[in-house]
């Protein structure tokens, strides 16, 4: 018998979950309450940019394995599983906002007309499986059995379909092992390791994974600052570090920092959870602080190279928080552009997919049709998002059309030598500064002097 699944929320995760479960042969109904999003999907307008997803979606919609509705009763009819994939953004103090989880749980309880396994796929704090169970017990309209399972999602935007279908692991946590087993069976065709655990372990594992990824990037960004000062290339350093099996080579790319819909809110969420138990988290706080500092590097570099930047036109290449998505949530471009505007700069920008979303958040930016238009007459360009498209640009054409050919490569996408050959004054992140004056070696020496003295005294 074909298994029937409902997925709640047609966002990045819900759309991927629904289309990929259909790909695995299940009959899936996607439930969405936003009428605009529902309408767009019903009229074949795909609401997010995610490579491969619209094609998969259309194929299974046409093939009848995938269905879409705004009505919970229709959406849950005959479903054994309801996967909740609604947003869990941060509130001001970092607390994960669970209002959409609560409302989805209540709607499921009120509409389900048979036994159901409710699965939290959203990223939620420890204890949320219990909260959902309480809501369902309170609002369910009949005596059918239900169970709650935590099954966090680890996909990366831009790679979402691939990640869902080729996961490194699937985590399924619940107090009800039969329900957990039933959920894990859905993933068996993927042939990946499946970790069965309690719900709290599953919930915490997701936060810990994201916080660890964020920590790695903040770590290499701090090293990149040092590399800039000492004229060392952080990319070579990261390669050496990454070759050590105890370190691993993922998430060691220095740049303008991490953003997006997950890492920032999940690090803040973990700090909030710790606070609720009166546990201090100096490491996690530093991970955030280092990240907040990264956009300021752009301003510092431009000021060093241009002098005053007031009134200068700065071109921005890339706006989305990473390539291959149109997601602008906590994108580095927002912070970089806001700082540049505070310093009186005019901003021109281009992104292959995110201009519509960006324009809603930053209406005073001049949006361009391509990177060449951005470069025309600009005093500097800053590469913020490393879309593949930017690797293929005619960089001589770009540099020769600029008022001043400064390129700040915020993702270390380009080869510095090639950029200098193409006529740029080039700076990456952690690849050595081009100073107008001699590097301030004395200041650095002064700062590390006590440590140096201590080491020397031990050696002598």
Ligand X SMILES: NC(=O)c1ccc[n+]([C@@H]2O[C@H](COP(=O)([O-])OP(=O)(O)OC[C@H]3O[C@@H](n4cnc5c(N)ncnc54)[C@H](O)[C@@H]3O)[C@@H](O)[C@H]2O)c1
Q: Which residues are catalytic?
A: 262
Q: Which is nearer to ligand X, 37 or 312 (CB)?
A: 37
d(CA 125, CA 13): 17
Quote the least distance from Cβ 123 to ligand X, whole Å: 4
| SS3 of residue 406 by DSSP | strand
Where helices occur in 24-52 by DSSP H, the ranges are: 35-42
The answer for 162, left when phi > 0, alpha when psi is -120 to 50, beta otherwise, is alpha
d(CA 389, CA 117): 43
User: Cβ of 175: how many Cβ atoms within 10 Å?
Assistant: 16
d(CA 124, CA 99): 11
Binding site for ligand X (CB under 6 A): 8-14, 31-34, 37, 85-88, 100, 103-104, 107, 122-123, 153, 155, 157, 261-262
- Which residues have C-beta within 8 Å of that of residue 226, sequence separation ≥ 6? 232, 430
What is the sign, positive or negative, of the torsion defined by CA atoms of 183, 185, 191, 196?
Answer: positive
Quote the least distance from Cβ 4 to ligand X, whole Å: 17
Quote the least distance from Cβ 430 to ligand X, whole Å: 26
Quote the least distance from Cβ 429 to ligand X, whole Å: 24
Q: Which is nearer to ligand X, 161 or 371 (CB)?
A: 161
Q: Which is nearer to ligand X, 30 or 241 (CB)?
A: 30
Torsion of CA 357, 360, 366, 371, to 10 degrees: 0
Quote the least distance from Cβ 210 to ligand X, whole Å: 8
Among the listed residues 260, 261, 280, the one whose alpha carbon sits nearest the alpha carbon of residue 270: 280
Q: Which is nearer to ligand X, 34 or 373 (CB)?
A: 34
Position of minimal CB gap to ligand X: 11
Cα three-residue angle 51-254-324, rounded to 5 degrees? 10
Quote the least distance from Cβ 297 to ligand X, whole Å: 25
Quote the least distance from Cβ 176 to ligand X, whole Å: 22
- Which residues have C-beta within 8 Å of that of residue 129, sequence separation ≥ 6? 120, 148, 149, 150, 173, 174, 175, 199, 200, 203
CA distances in angstroms from 214 to 168, 169, 209, listed in the order given: 18, 19, 9
CA distances in angstroms from 250 to 193, 217, 254, 272, listed in the order given: 20, 9, 11, 26
Q: Which is nearer to ligand X, 203 or 386 (CB)?
A: 203
User: Cβ of 136: how many Cβ atoms within 10 Å?
Assistant: 21
- Pair of tokens at residue 44: 């074949």
Q: Which is nearer to ligand X, 29 or 174 (CB)?
A: 29
Quote the least distance from Cβ 103 to ligand X, whole Å: 4
How many residues are listed for the chain in this entry? 460
Among the listed residues 285, 348, 340, 271, the one whose alpha carbon sits nearest the alpha carbon of residue 309: 340
Q: Which is nearer to ligand X, 124 or 290 (CB)?
A: 124
Q: Which is nearer to ligand X, 85 or 365 (CB)?
A: 85
């Amino acid at each position: 018998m074909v298994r029937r699944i409902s997925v709640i929320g047609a966002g990045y995760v819900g759309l991927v979950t629904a289309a990929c479960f259909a790909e695995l042969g299940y009959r899936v109904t996607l439930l969405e309450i936003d009428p605009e999003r529902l309408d767009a999907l019903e009229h074949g307008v795909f609401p997010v940019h995610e490579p491969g997803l619209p094609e998969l979606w259309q194929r299974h919609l046409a093939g009848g394995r995938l269905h879409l509705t705004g009505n919970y009763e229709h959406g849950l009819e005959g479903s054994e599983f309801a996967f909740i994939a609604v947003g869990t953004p941060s509130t001001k103090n970092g607390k994960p906002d669970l209002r959409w989880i609560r409302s989805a749980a209540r709607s499921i309880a009120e509409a389900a007309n048979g036994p159901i396994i409710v699965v939290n796929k959203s990223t939620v704090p420890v204890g949320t499986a219990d909260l959902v169970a309480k809501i369902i017990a309170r609002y369910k309209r009949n005596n059918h059995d239900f169970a709650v399972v935590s099954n966090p999602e680890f996909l990366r935007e831009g790679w979402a379909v691939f990640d869902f279908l080729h996961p490194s692991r699937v985590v399924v946590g619940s107090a009800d092992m039969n329900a957990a087993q039933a959920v894990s069976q859905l993933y068996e065709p993927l042939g990946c390791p499946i970790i069965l655990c309690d719900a709290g372990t599953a919930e915490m594992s997701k936060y810990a994974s994201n916080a660890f990824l964020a920590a790695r990037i903040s770590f290499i960004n701090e090293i990149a600052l040092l590399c800039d000062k000492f004229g060392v290339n952080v990319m070579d350093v990261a390669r050496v570090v990454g070759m050590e099996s105890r370190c691993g080579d993922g998430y060691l790319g220095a740049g303008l920092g991490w953003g997006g819909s997950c890492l920032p809110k999940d690090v803040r969420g973990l700090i909030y959870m710790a606070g609720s138990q009166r546990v201090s988290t100096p490491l996690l706080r530093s991970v955030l602080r280092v990240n907040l500092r990264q956009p300021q590097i752009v301003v510092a570099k431009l000021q060093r190279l241009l002098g005053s930047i007031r009134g200068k036109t700065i071109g921005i290449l890339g706006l989305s928080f990473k390539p291959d998505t149109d997601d602008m949530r906590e994108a580095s471009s927002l912070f970089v552009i806001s700082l540049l505007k505070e310093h009186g700069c005019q901003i021109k920008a281009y992104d292959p997919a995110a201009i519509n979303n960006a324009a809603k958040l930053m209406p005073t930016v001049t949006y361009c049709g391509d990177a060449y238009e951005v470069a025309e007459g600009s005093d500097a360009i800053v590469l913020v998002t490393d879309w593949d498209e930017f690797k293929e640009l005619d960089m001589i054409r770009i540099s020769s059309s600029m008022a001043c050919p400064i390129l700040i490569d915020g993702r270390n996408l380009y080869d510095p030598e090639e950029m200098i050959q193409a006529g740029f004054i080039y700076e990456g992140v952690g690849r050595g500064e081009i100073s107008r004056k001699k590097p301030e070696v004395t200041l650095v020496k002064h700062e590390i002097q006590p440590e140096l003295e201590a080491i020397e005294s031990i050696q002598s």
